[in-house]
Amino acid sequence: MKPLDPRDRLIIALDVADRAAAEKLVEAIGDAAVFYKIGMELAYSDGGLALAPRLAGAGKKVFLDLKLHDIPNTVERATAQVARLGATFLTVHAYPQTMQAAVAGANGSELSILGVTVLTSFDDEDLIEAGYRFGVVETVRRRAEQARALGVQGLVASAAEAGPVREALGPDMILVTPGIRPAGGDVGDQKRVATPGRAIRDGADYLVVGRPIVQAADPRAAALRIVAEIAAATP
């Protein structure tokens, strides 16, 4: 289950407005990557969600980043629907009720559930502002422990706290880290970022990269550079 080839560890976020733009990007990336994330922007566009079975049928891996969060009955039934789309990963917010329901909904399918711990655009102050009792590292660690106890397959967290998260998860759970920026890259709205090399060295299994590839003048070259950095950091 864990990726061995550096190329398999890069997940490219197809954060584009429509299916045609996404197809064009996948075509341009070619064999530089195999794993693609369909997030809210593309999923809610006309035919965006239908791209998941299309890509899976073409031999790509698909991460459906729908960040489900609702009452357990709704999450379980929605997850069972998503499980028919051929995706490898589905995100839900890492609340215990939500994670438990998603695991039940995916039961018996190929779909793995990833709990989104604390968004990488949040820092300690943002959590306090939102009414949380703990800062980022403690909140992520607690959610990691809850996810593990509930049999969730993996977590999404920033590479900035990958070390303590990996400790809480143990070696087998999947750790996916967005907020990846090549050294000196524009951070944008992200607050907890790390370079590809650091994320891998600190225990990430997969890196999610959007704008540094999607908005690059040459997305394939940008993807190849990140895969090379992953390879250089892989023991």
Ligand X SMILES: O=C(O)c1cc(=O)[nH]c(=O)n1[C@@H]1O[C@H](COP(=O)(O)O)[C@@H](O)[C@H]1O
The residues that touch ligand X, with contacts defined as CB under 6 A, are 13, 15, 39, 65, 91, 116, 119-120, 156, 178-179, 188, 190, 208-212
Closest CA to 179 of 153, 147, 210: 210
Residue tagged active-site, from 2, 8, 60, 65? 65
- Per the CB < 8 A criterion, the answer to whether 115 and 152 are in contact is yes
**Residue 72 marked ligand-binding:** yes
The nearer residue to ligand X, 96 or 188, going by C-beta atoms, is 188
The nearer residue to ligand X, 119 or 233, going by C-beta atoms, is 119
Distance (Å, whole) CA 10 – CA 204? 11
Q: Which residues, in sequence order, are bridge partners of residue 11?
A: 35, 208
Shortest distance in whole angstroms from residue 71 CB to ligand X: 21
**Catalytic residue at 18?**
no
**Catalytic residue at 67?**
yes
**Residue 181 marked ligand-binding:** yes
**Residue 37 marked ligand-binding:** yes
The nearer residue to ligand X, 13 or 83, going by C-beta atoms, is 13
The nearer residue to ligand X, 3 or 39, going by C-beta atoms, is 39
**Catalytic residue at 70?**
yes
Name 180's Cβ contacts closer than 8 Å, sequence gap at least 6: 159, 193, 194, 195, 196, 199, 207, 208, 209, 212, 226
**Token pair belonging to 14:** 């197809």
**Residue 73 marked ligand-binding:** yes
Residue tagged active-site, from 67, 123, 124, 126? 67
Phi, psi for 105 (deg, rounded to 5)? -65, -30
For residue 19, which amino acid is it? R
Phi, psi for 22 (deg, rounded to 5)? -65, -45
Which residues does the annotation mark as catalytic? 65, 67, 70
Provide the annotated binding site for substrate.
15, 37, 65-74, 120, 181, 190, 210-211
Which residues sit in the known binding site?
15, 37, 65-74, 120, 181, 190, 210-211
